[in-house]
DNA sequence: GTCTATAACGGGATAGAC
DNA sequence: GTCTATCCCGTTATAGAC
């Protein structure tokens, strides 16, 4: 039995980019096949439950990425400002400067919403809680910390929608500069 | 020839709620039929080019709503603060306190994005420009006015995504209270 | 304008060979 | 693990009666 040409993680990564572009309902098996370079049968070998399982794997991958990259940066070395800016740089790169959409945001739409509400909630919560911890580290009061944490995620998501709608990455880039000032402002 | 039971405007309005819930790819003709109470044939009577034309009509309706409700409130009577708050109340009612999604936001996803980029851009622009005018009225400098206007739309969209993802309308409600303070703050 | 029926197509999913 | 072939169903779309 020949070793797979690409790892399962790599497959999930590629599936993610398809769901990110097209959303759940828009991501046909044909596109998922094209995007991964695997035939449909191979996809079903990896994911016996089909598309539903693929999206689930993608959401788990997104959650892991939030934990291992986003939150990890927030909990890393340096001042709160430096840590926040490292997280924003990771987002900037992941979202290609505002040209890509957010998988989570795109999976909140349509058929996927009901199917994956728990996973979505969990992923967003992890992200918010990571930011909340950072705010507390920065000496922000407990109540304000939660609000500012939610505000960051809210502004990232909103910037992606607006930049997508205007077909112009400017709002996203401006958001990246604005967020640190607001997040760390004295109360 | 019997008069139609509901007006074309009413049909478009109902189509809008379906696209708002399910996005473009998720809105099947069966759902559009259910949502309007019209048979498929009747839908094709109103929209000979099918779903593509339905979504176009919905986007035109959304644009008209932005002009005739959102921007109209911004240009209405009263202080800038009052006018902004009237717009936010209109949004609160339209989005059902954060429980509904935004049609525009949901049509930025998937197959619809390429198809309707011009209309989306135009709708978002009208909204931003209405807010920009209000900011200028309120004595905000030209440069800041544009940024604050974009920030409002960005925060509305972000709040809808986050509230949708967390399945909790709290972020949306908090955004409604926060926006007027930021928008009209001294520079 | 609306209905029933149906064509034409694409989507998700499976079977079995290799 | 991957391929080819195929099935079934939902979806889009059209035709024609009323």
Residue B97 is given by DSSP the state: G
| Contact (Cβ atoms closer than 8 angstroms) between residue B67 and residue B87 | no
Domain that holds residue B140: 8-183
Q: Is the minimum CB–CB distance between A106 and chain B shorter than 8 Å?
A: yes
For chain B, the average pLDDT equals 96
- In 3D space, the residue among B142, B160, B154 whose CA is nearest the CA of residue B179 turns out to be B154
Distance from CA of A48 to the nearest CA of B (A): 23
| Contact (Cβ atoms closer than 8 angstroms) between residue B8 and residue B46 | yes
Tell me what pLDDT residue B3 has: 52
Q: Is the CB of B33 under 7 A from strand C?
A: no
In a domain, A3, yes or no: no
Tell me what pLDDT residue B10 has: 96
**pLDDT of A34-46, one tens digit each?**
999 999 999 999 9
In a domain, A163, yes or no: yes
What sign results for the dihedral spanned by CA atoms B41, B46, B52, B57? negative
Give the contacts of B68 (CB within 8 A, at least 6 positions apart).
none
Task: Give me the residue label for tokens 């559009």.
Answer: B32
Answer with the residue of higher pLDDT: B6 or B172: B172
For residue A105, what is the nearest residue in chain B, using CA coordinates? B161
Give the contacts of B79 (CB within 8 A, at least 6 positions apart).
none
In a domain, A148, yes or no: yes
Look up the CATH number of the domain holding residue A37.
1.10.357.10
Instruction: Tell me the residues of chain B between 85 and 104 that have a Cβ less than 8 Å away from chain A.
Output: 101-102, 104
Give chain B's domain count.
Answer: 1
In a domain, B136, yes or no: yes
Tell me what pLDDT residue B4 has: 65
For the cut 90, the answer to whether the pLDDT of residue B41 exceeds it is yes
Q: How many CB pairs under 8 A join A and B?
A: 129
Structure confidence at residue B25 as a pLDDT band (50, 70, 90): very high
In a domain, B1, yes or no: no
Neighbours of B39 (CB within 10 A): 10
In a domain, B112, yes or no: yes
In a domain, B2, yes or no: no
For the cut 90, the answer to whether the pLDDT of residue B151 exceeds it is yes
Tell me what pLDDT residue A3 has: 52
Query: pLDDT tens track of chain A, all 187 residues?
Result: 345 678 999 999 999 999 999 999 999 999 999 999 999 999 999 999 999 999 999 999 999 999 999 999 999 999 999 999 999 999 999 999 999 999 999 999 987 999 999 999 999 999 999 999 999 999 999 999 999 999 999 999 999 999 999 999 999 999 999 999 999 999 9
Q: How many Å from the CA of B38 to C1' of D16?
A: 19
For the cut 60, the answer to whether the pLDDT of residue B2 exceeds it is no
Nucleotide nearest to A5 (CA to C1'): D1
d(CA A176, CA B59) in angstroms, rounded, equals 30
For the cut 90, the answer to whether the pLDDT of residue B111 exceeds it is no
Mean pLDDT of B83-95: 98
| Contact (Cβ atoms closer than 8 angstroms) between residue A27 and residue A18 | yes
**pLDDT of B177-186, one tens digit each?**
999 999 999 9
Distance from CA of A46 to the nearest CA of B (A): 24
In a domain, A13, yes or no: yes
User: Minimum mean pLDDT among A36-40, A56-60, B43-47, B106-110: which range?
Assistant: B106-110
Neighbours of A61 (CB within 10 A): 16
Residue B127 CA: distances (Å) to CA of A5, A105, B116, B164: 49, 21, 17, 22
């Amino acid at each position: 039995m020949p070793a797979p040409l690409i790892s399962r993680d790599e497959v999930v990564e590629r599936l993610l980019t398809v769901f990110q572009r097209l959303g759940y309902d828009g991501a046909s098996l044909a596109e998922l096949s094209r995007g991964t370079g695997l035939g449909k049968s191979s996809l079903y070998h990896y994911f016996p439950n089909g598309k539903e399982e693929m999206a689930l794997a993608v959401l788990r991958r997104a959650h892991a990425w939030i934990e291992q990259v986003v939150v990890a940066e927030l909990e890393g070395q340096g001042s709160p400002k430096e840590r926040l800016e490292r997280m924003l740089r990771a987002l900037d790169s992941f979202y290609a400067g505002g040209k890509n959409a957010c998988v989570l945001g795109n999976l909140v739409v349509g058929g996927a919403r009901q199917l994956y509400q728990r996973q979505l909630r969990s992923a967003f919560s992890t992200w918010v809680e990571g930011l909340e911890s950072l705010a507390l580290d920065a000496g922000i009061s407990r109540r304000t910390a939660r609000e500012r944490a939610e505000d960051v995620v809210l502004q990232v998501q909103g910037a992606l929608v607006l930049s997508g709608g205007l077909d112009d990455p400017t709002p996203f880039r401006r958001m990246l500069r604005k967020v640190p000032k607001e997040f760390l402002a004295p109360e």
